[in-house]
Amino acid sequence: MKWLRGVHAGREVFGLLQGDEVVVHRGDLFDSPSPTGERLPLAGLDWLTPCRPSKMIALWNNFAAAAEKNGWSRPAEPLYFLKAPSSFAAHGQAIPVPNPEVGRVAYEGELAIVIGRRAKAVPVDQAPSHIFGYSCANDVTAMELIARDPSFAQWARAKSFDGFGVFGPVIETEFDVAAATLRTTVGGRERQNYPLADMFFTPVELVSRLSHDMTLEPGDVILCGTSLGVLPMKPGTAVEVTIDGIGTLANVYGAG
């Protein structure tokens, strides 16, 4: 099932995607929502992020191919950072271009995990029941900022400009991570194409391990990290992140 949120004729709605329609629901997305009986055309929808996370946790160095190429060792534990909630952006929204002093900005196509039940110190075998579903993400990064000051790595700033936490367009609740591939196109040219099975830490492992560090709330998002093919973007460039079985997240970096 593919869940989404959007604005239709000035009214915020959420529901299931069926063909070219939205089956509108009421209630809490993560607590037995019920259909209202209303169906709306997808064509008239302004997309919102498919949920409202209280936080977005994003992995670094979680794919074997990228680690091998960059000479990184396999991490003993998940390495991650947080992206500010003000950075979240939806499918179809423009990604703002920061001030020129920020430097080059890169795309990172990633798989997003959406938490469905509160998770605190969850064992690995119980972690699947805390995953609501999966989405596409673009972990946009001001790549020159991270190491600009040798005394302090600026991960939070580099990852949290407005529009840098893009995810959507839907949350797919029935998804086989091990069988899927992620592709990122930039200006219509394929730049990333990698199997999700290449992760060091699977989604189930990530949910378990991260829940021992902090409580995960319904709607929270975990970005699984990216692999090879990350490059800077030019303003005006269209970026699409496609994951088999979920869909395509499409945005333009700036107005050109």
Q: What is the pLDDT of residues 157-191, one digit of tens each?
A: 999 999 999 999 999 999 999 999 999 999 999 99
Q: Quickly tell me which residue has 């079985």 as its tokens.
A: 245
- Residues 57 and 77 both lie in one domain: yes
CB 133 within 8 A of CB 221: no
Q: Fill in the amino acid letter for 17.
A: L
Q: What is the dihedral of CA 254, 16, 37, 93, to 10 degrees?
A: 0
Predicted model pTM:
0.97
How many Å apart are CA 71 and CA 88, to the nearest integer? 31
Helices (H), the chain: 64-70, 155-159, 203-211
Residues 37 and 89 in one domain: no
Predicted local distance difference test score (pLDDT) of residue 255? 62
DSSP 104-136: -EE--EEEEEEE-S-BSS--GGGGGGGEEEEEE
95 lies in the same domain as 1 = no
Q: What is the CATH number of the domain that holds 7?
A: 2.30.30.370
* Host domain of residue 114: 49-253
What does the pLDDT average to over 91-103?
A: 96
Greatest CA separation found in the chain? 58
